[in-house]
Structure 1
Amino acid sequence: MNTLSSSSRDARQSLVAAGAVAFTIASWASAFPFIRIGLHGLTPLQLAASRFATAAVLIVAWLLWRRPRRPTKRDALRFLLCGLLGIALYNALLNTGEQTVSAGAASFIVNTLPIFTALLAAVFLGERFNRWGWLGSLVSLAGIAVIARGQPGGLVLGAGSTLILGAALCSASYFVLQRRLIPVYGALTCTAYTLLAGALLLTPWLPGALAALGGDASRDTVWAVVMLGVFPAALGYATWTFALGYFGAARAASFLYLTPAVATALSIALTGERPGIETVLGGLLAIAGVVFVAWRGRS
């Protein structure tokens, strides 16, 4: 009887964990088409400010409920830097890039950030990065070049594709910086402090966003802001933390390779954008390189 109940409990936990992974992927993938929708009524920085102001409401409620450990003054500055790199700059570059780059193409470019994370970890944290890692990186960069060929401006500095590549680099820098904070505060608390710091840094653009949302912005724009703030920015991180605890970092991260495909499918459904041949071929190359680095790239 105990064996049966234990098996039933394990099956339920597996089902809940699988649901958490699916919810996380769908939430994070939805960000790319919703950004495209939100940009119809807001500037890139206004969209970022309103998105994370929405998320901040949920984050503050969670912090008041859980009352996690407060950061020291030195760590508070580190969280501020995390918020600058991982939230403010990342979203400013991504949103600006998506003014000209399709949601599907943007998702493939951003999904190469594990490579930048591995490279930065090798430089600043002393982690080993072998020749297979360099080969996988070159394959991914070749994929990005193919994707960029199908987007306005290509890989010219300042073009949408290069801005999104810069966003991936900012996010990778944030991940490396956060690694020393997670053992002290925990993954979910670190994410909450980082998102809150990013929201504070974006407040100069919030009045303009509120004026636009209360004025000529369409219902679709308002809906996009709410969706971006609630799902990718807040709930997606909570379910991701649960998935990490169940599957472990390596196995959970492998599921994220599905994100660009889901983002592309959602883009077709929500915005009518259909990926070109360059996006499909380049995306496959980019993800192949990321998978290669994850499996063989570190000694």
Structure 2
Amino acid sequence: MFANNRRKAYMAAVLNALIIGFSFLFVKMALAEASPFDLLAYRFTASFAAVLPVMLVLKPKDLAALLPLALLYPGLFFAYQTVGLVYASSSEAGIIQAAVPIFTLLLAACFLKERASRHHYLFMLLSVAGVVTIVVMKGTKLGNGSSAAGLLFVLVSAVSLAGYSILARKLTKSYGVIEITFVMAFLGFLVFGGIAVVQHAVQGNWGSFFRPLASRPFLVSILYLGVLSSLVTSYLSNYALSQIEAYKISIFNQLATMVSIAAGVIVLHEPLLIYHVIGAVLIIAGVVGVCIPASTMKKPSPLSR
């Protein structure tokens, strides 16, 4: 039973990475019609609408207990990431985000007492190296138009995502995955919907807020991002964290980078370059290595043969 649950958790983590990897295509489509915070507002409105029936069974005390988790993700994560990308290059942001498994590992050791073996550390660094290879080789100049504040915002978003993994791992022992997912969608709806409403109320340009609704590609993107890439991925991630150590689940997020490249090649006909392949191999090797139990990596002693 235990092995079966872990197998399902790993499958959930892989599916989560697949959905997130393809989400970058839909983000590009949606941003052609709406501003970043308007996109987030519509995204989490769709998420909240899809999971609204859960409110009928959720107790107020449970809502209060789970709000700190939702504050970390999606609240602080998306807010700081969105603002940070205004002042930092995408390459720098990609490198910092690639370090999320390392932040998760450190926080897990401090707060959950989850210890990784030496080979787990090495394979985790291998996956990080794969992401960094892809990001750096894209050719975007590091430091071009960036500021210390932008880098700090991206760093806070990365730590927020790591903190979410730690807190979710802890809360899934006391609360159901569906309830946790609902609270995350609810807070995203309140925070980003509120930001969008205030912005348009101050600027007096409500037309630009509603105009994207006339675009079919935008509506398709919002359904994918809101229902699949926010709601379903939150459920999958929370389920996986309820079964497997936080640092192991965080490493699966690196697969999203590889999936986004594949999606760009297949759908947008972007070129597949050698550094993409090298980075993908490093990512896959790192993910597989982290999932291998430490006991199987040890050489048997002569007495045990």
The question of a shared fold, defined as TM-score above 0.5 by the shorter chain, is answered with: yes
Which residue number corresponds to residue 145 of structure 1?
132
Residue of structure 2 aligned with 1:181, choices 168, 171, 187: 171
Corresponding residue number in structure 2 for 1:6 = none
When the two chains are superposed, the root-mean-square deviation of aligned CA atoms in Å is 4.3
Deviates more, 1:207-216 or 1:186-195: 207-216
| 2:258–2:280 CA contact under 8 A, matched in 1 | no
Q: Kindly tell me: are residues 277 and 164 of structure 1, through their superposed partners in 2, closer, same or farther at Cα, counting changes over 3 Å? A: farther
Return closer, same or farther for 1:173/1:238 CA change in 2, 3 Å cut-off: closer
Runs (5+) with no aligned partner, structure 2: 1-7, 201-205, 298-305
Deviation at 1:266, TM superposition (A): 2.7
Partner residue of 1:28?
A: 20
5+ residue gaps, structure 1, are 1-15
- Using a 3 Å threshold, how does the CA distance of structure 1 residues 127 and 187 change in structure 2: closer, same or farther? same
Deviation at 1:244, TM superposition (A): 8.7
Match of 2:108? 121
3-state SS in 2 of match to 1:139: helix
| Equivalent-residue separation in structure 2 for 1:180 and 1:153 (angstroms) | 40
One-letter code aligned to 1:198:
G
Quick one: distance in 2 between partners of 1:272 and 1:98?
Answer: 25
- Report how far residue 162 of structure 1 moved: 9.1
Deviation at 1:39, TM superposition (A): 1.8
Structure 1 match to 2:211: 215
Which stretch shows the higher mean deviation, 275-284 or 26-35? Answer: 275-284
State how far apart, in whole Å, the 1-side matches of 2:187 and 2:115 are.
31
Q: Answer whether contact 1:140 1:289 (CA < 8 A) is retained.
A: yes
CA-CA distance at 1:121 after TM superposition: 0.2
Aligned residue pair count? 273
One-letter amino acid of the counterpart of residue 117, structure 2: N
Equivalent residue of 1:180, what SS?
helix
Please give the per-residue CA displacement for 1:235-270, whole angstroms capped at 9, x wherever unaligned: 44456778899xx648x9698776444433333344
Go from structure 1 to structure 2 and tell me whether the alpha carbon gap of 1:68 and 1:232 turns closer, same or farther (over 3 Å shift).
Answer: same
Q: Quick one: structure 1 residues 96 and 40, their matched pair in 2 at CA, closer, same or farther if it must change by over 3 Å?
A: farther
Given that residues 131 and 254 in structure 2 are in contact (C-alpha distance below 8 angstroms), is that contact kept between their aligned partners in structure 1? Answer: no
**Residue deviations 1:221-241, cap 9 Å, x none?**
333122211222224445677
Larger deviation, residues 289-298 vs 142-151 = 289-298
Conserved 8 A contact 1:148-1:161: no
2:224 counterpart of 1:227: yes
Structure 1, residues 58-102: CA drift from partner, whole Å, max 9, x if none? Answer: 1222333xx144435xx72x5333223211232345556888759
Report how far residue 35 of structure 1 moved. Answer: 1.4
- Are residues 94 and 195 of structure 1, via their aligned partners in 2, closer, same or farther at CA, if it must alter by over 3 Å? same
Query: 1:126, 1:69 → 2: CA distance?
Result: 30
Looking at structure 2, the residues matched to 291 and 18 of structure 1 have their Cα atoms a distance apart, in angstroms, of 11
Aligned to 1:277: 274
Separation of aligned partners in 2, 1:39 and 1:24: 22
Equivalences for 1:102-113 in 2 at 5 Å? 113=100
Which residue number corresponds to residue 190 of structure 2? 200
1:190 and 2:190 matched: no
1:135 aligns with 2:132: no
Q: Which residue of 2 aligns with 1:264?
A: 261
Letter in 1 for 2:107: L
Q: Which moved more, 1:137-146 or 1:35-44?
A: 137-146
Q: C-alpha separation between the residues in 2 aligned to 1:162 and 1:220?
A: 34
Letter in 1 for 2:46: T
Which of 71, 91, 97 matches 1:84? 71
**Percent pairwise identity:** 28
